Amino acid sequence: MTTTTTENWICRTCAYVYDEAEGDAAGLPPGTRWPEVPNDWTCPDCGAHKHDFDRMEPPR
Q: What is the pLDDT of residues 4-60, one digit of tens each?
A: 688 999 999 999 999 999 999 888 999 999 999 999 999 999 999 999 999 998 766
pLDDT of residue 24: 92
User: Residue 23: which CATH number?
Assistant: 2.20.28.10
Domain that holds residue 34: 1-60
Asked if residue 56 lies in contact with residue 9, where contact means CB atoms within 8 angstroms, the answer is yes
Asked if residue 20 lies in contact with residue 34, where contact means CB atoms within 8 angstroms, the answer is yes
pLDDT above 60 (res 1): no
User: What's the rounded Cα separation, in Å, for the pair 19 and 31?
Assistant: 9
For residue 52, what is the DSSP state?
G
Burial class (CB in 10 A: 0-12, 13-18, 19+), 20: buried
Domain count, the chain: 1
